[in-house]
Amino acid sequence: MSKRIPLPMPFGWFQVAYSHELAVAESKPLRYFDTDLVMFRTESGEVKVLDAYCPHMGAHLGYGIRGQAGGGSEVRGDSIICPFHGWAYNGEGKCTDVPYANNPPPRVARCETVIKPWHVREMNQCIFVWYHPQDIEPAFEPDRVPEAAADNSEWGSLKIHEWDIATHTQEVGENSVDAAHFLYVHGTQNIPTPDVTEFDGIRRRSRLVSKMQTPRGEITGVIDNANVGPGQAVVRFSGICDTVLMANLTPVDEENCKAFYAFIQKKVDGKEPVGGVADAIVADIRKQMEEDRIIWARKKYFEKPMLCDNDGPFARFRKWYGQFLV
């Protein structure tokens, strides 16, 4: 049986959690990239991610017992403790303690890496992990989003929404160059006008301009969408209520992904905008995601779609995206 979406998972930096979701000395299980993982925050505050299974006898490090039951395994110092036999591992995947052994295994004695560690970056109040199917070292870095800095007093707190999406991340990304679908899927007043489309190395940028009817009359809204690799996207809405959306996508496996959407809106007179247009923008994007999910979950990927003259630059987008597919 042929696959509905015959594409491999892309490589790059991908969000796996928000910073506030992982406290000091806390651990949690993850499943992304068709792999079981465990993340933990050391007592000094650093986030670490490892493959999930203890090399001793295969226990999952993301699930605690006894005093840790219902949560992750214990974190002590810079190491996570296996709930099965108490072996300890640091963020580099090295065993730091076998509490009952007189003669630890040779690889432990030689301080070798015995669990695969994953590259981690914590920025924009998010936790990112580098994935490459051949375990190649990071080829680029995720971008910092100034509006998402925890100490930025001009912008409000993150308004977070998440979706599990039954499709490949490329299919979701193609929406950004598909102006026509806004009219037919989302019922906009017109087809937004593409103003900018740029593909530059690992970066991609587009701008859509659309007329919108509001209680204040017709307003020209601008949507700037920028990607760094396939996993990080920042969308800036201007024209009504300045809004920044971190719209990050992470592969769960080849045909499923997770969308991490965090809206940040500019404060007015030192206060976060509440209600009215501010909430309407968030509600509209959420509505659009639910509409898109109906299409994504059931559409088939065509390598050579039958495009017409006013379709978006799908060929250019796929060529750009293809650099991240091994």
CATH 3.20.20.110 is held by the domain 12-131: no
Q: Which residues pair with 263 in a beta bridge?
A: 159, 245
Mean pLDDT of the chain: 93
Q: Which of 107-116, 184-193, 213-222, 303-312 has the lowest mean pLDDT?
A: 213-222
Convert the pLDDT of each residue in 143-202 to its tens digit: 999 999 999 999 999 999 999 999 999 999 999 899 899 899 998 888 888 777 899 999
The ranges assigned to domains in the chain are 12-131, 153-323
Confidence at 216, pLDDT banded by 50, 70, 90:
low
Three-state DSSP at 194 gives strand
Provide long-range contacts, Cβ within 8 A and 24+ apart, for 22-29.
22/47, 22/127, 25/74, 25/75, 25/76, 26/71, 26/72, 26/75, 27/61, 27/62, 27/64, 27/71, 27/72, 27/73, 27/74, 27/75, 27/80, 28/62, 28/71, 28/72, 29/60, 29/62, 29/63, 29/72
Contact 191, 308 (CB under 8 A): no
Q: Is the pLDDT of residue 101 over 70?
A: yes
The pLDDT of residue 116: 98
pTM: 0.95
Fold exhibited by the domain 153-323: Naphthalene 1,2-dioxygenase Alpha Subunit; Chain A, domain 1 (3.90.380)
Sheet holding 75-76, edge to edge: 75-76, 79-81, 88-90, 95-97
Confidence at 214, pLDDT banded by 50, 70, 90:
low
Confidence at 269, pLDDT banded by 50, 70, 90:
confident
- Residue 163 CB partners (closer than 8 Å, separation 6+): 258, 259, 261, 289, 293
Confidence at 213, pLDDT banded by 50, 70, 90:
low
Q: Is the pLDDT of residue 282 over 70?
A: yes
The pLDDT of residue 204: 96
Convert the pLDDT of each residue in 87-96 to its tens digit: 999 999 999 9
Averaged pLDDT, 49-60 = 98
Q: Is the pLDDT of residue 134 over 90?
A: yes
The pLDDT of residue 58: 98
The pLDDT of residue 3: 84
Q: Is the pLDDT of residue 219 over 70?
A: no
